[in-house]
Amino acid sequence: RTNQQKLVHINSSLIYDNDVAVAVQGIVRDVTIQNKYKKSIEAERLKYSNIIANMNLGLIEISKEGEVLMMNQSFSDISGYNEAELLGTVARDIFAVNDAGAELIDEEKRKRVEGESNSYELEVKTKTGEHRHWLVSGAPNYNLEGEQVGSIAVTLDITDLKNLQNQKEKLLSKLEKSNDELQEYAHIVSHDLKSPLRSINALVSWLKEDNQGKLDEVSLQNIAHIETTLEKMEQLITDVLNYSSVGAQVSALADVNTHNLVSDLCKILYVPEHIEIKIVNQLPVIKGDKTKLQQLFQNLISNAVKFIDKEKGLIEIKVLELSTHFEFSVKDNGMGIEKQFHDKIFKIFHALNKSKESTGIGLSIVKKIVDLHEGEVWLESEPKVGTTFYFTLKK
């Protein structure tokens, strides 16, 4: 009536009268929808068969007894075996590298029988005898009646990733050893260098005492230069030791109230009367190493004090909350820094001021501590106006 084509199934039979066929009777059944479902199911089966055959992950089906029932092409590629070589064989006997590997496969097979799914790493041997590392994700396999008939495993070759991980662990171990050796070397050198410096300083003092009233002005100036050089050398040795110590021993991170920490620092640091330190807003509590954070703020505040050249100095400390970090700033109205030096001052020994108090290590220590707390440090400055140091610390 609607001119639609139908697919029907006819079951017919003849009707006989005195052994003569006189009529036909039949049952006509519309199988159009059933046929569409059948074609749809067949198309889906073909589609997923192609996906399984060509996906980059190896797929293998195993019976409850551990025999290989089915595998895709990717599994053949990573194992080296073709389907004919593996079907009907016991997987553990083919792939286990040693007894431990065989026991792991047996244990995982037991878990599948109990209905458990999970992932695990397995060292295997391929057809060529090469040892590889696989990440295996296994799950129970059920028939149409819901009975557990075995398991299905998806495998991914992670050998290259495993090798990179092993190389990383070796490099980290080597780096840790080198850091320990550097720390020990720095302590030894510090001790060995400071001893002769103290001896020279003592000799110079004795020389002044023994010749009191006998030395002319030029000689006294030369002796003063020697004393200044000795002081700077000792300070340099101390700073190098401090720099090498940053990061060598990181204490367990704990809650640090940076507002209290900075307030306490302002009370104990030497700050000339003409300089005011102002904490603009409430500084936060963060997770960090308290000793190193104290060293960080102390270096920045002391640096600001050192380079203020105005009759009335001002240092402002404040914080801005970001999504994952806090952004701190230490602003001064000092002499400022030329643009060309902005990238250099965080490098060790790059001191802009050549006084005996400045060794060019303080800001290098600042950067190292900020790095340890997964942050960044930078500055904005205008000569004769002032400088602002910014740094972020992870929440």
What are the pLDDT digits (tens) for 338-357?
Answer: 887 777 777 754 555 544 44
Strand partners, 378: 390
Q: How confident is the model at residue 46 (pLDDT cuts 50, 70, 90)?
A: low
Q: According to the model, what pLDDT value does residue 42 have?
A: 63
Q: What is the mean pLDDT of residues 18-37?
A: 68
**Token output for 206:** 């004795």
Q: What is the mean pLDDT of residues 118-143?
A: 92
Q: Which residue has the higher pLDDT, 34 or 214?
A: 214
Q: What is the mean pLDDT of residues 125-150?
A: 90
How far apart are alpha carbons 360 and 338 in whole angstroms?
A: 16
Over 90: is that where the pLDDT of 178 sits?
A: no
Q: How far is CA 268 from CA 213, 260, 301, 302, 305, in A?
A: 40, 13, 12, 11, 14
Q: 43-57, 62-76, 171-185: lowest mean pLDDT where?
A: 43-57
How far apart are alpha carbons 383 and 385 in whole angstroms?
A: 5
Q: How confident is the model at residue 325 (pLDDT cuts 50, 70, 90)?
A: very high
User: How much is the mean pLDDT over the chain?
Assistant: 82
Q: According to the model, what pLDDT value does residue 388 have?
A: 95
Q: How confident is the model at residue 67 (pLDDT cuts 50, 70, 90)?
A: very high
Over 60: is that where the pLDDT of 383 sits?
A: yes
Instruction: Supply φ then ψ for residue 100, to 5 degrees.
Output: -65, -40
Q: According to the model, what pLDDT value does residue 355 have?
A: 47
Q: Which residue has the higher pLDDT, 362 or 110?
A: 110
pTM (whole model) above 0.75: no
Q: How confident is the model at residue 359 (pLDDT cuts 50, 70, 90)?
A: very low
Q: According to the model, what pLDDT value does residue 331 have?
A: 95
**Contacts for 299 with CB less than 8 Å, ≥ 6 apart:** 362, 363, 365, 366
Q: According to the model, what pLDDT value does residue 250 have?
A: 55
**Contacts for 76 with CB less than 8 Å, ≥ 6 apart:** 82, 83
Q: According to the model, what pLDDT value does residue 187 have?
A: 66
Q: What is the mean pLDDT of residues 268-291?
A: 91
How far apart are alpha carbons 352 and 367 in whole angstroms?
A: 17
Over 80: is that where the pLDDT of 32 sits?
A: no
Over 70: is that where the pLDDT of 393 sits?
A: yes
Q: What is the mean pLDDT of residues 369-381?
A: 91
Q: What is the mean pLDDT of residues 18-22?
A: 73
Q: How confident is the model at residue 315 (pLDDT cuts 50, 70, 90)?
A: very high
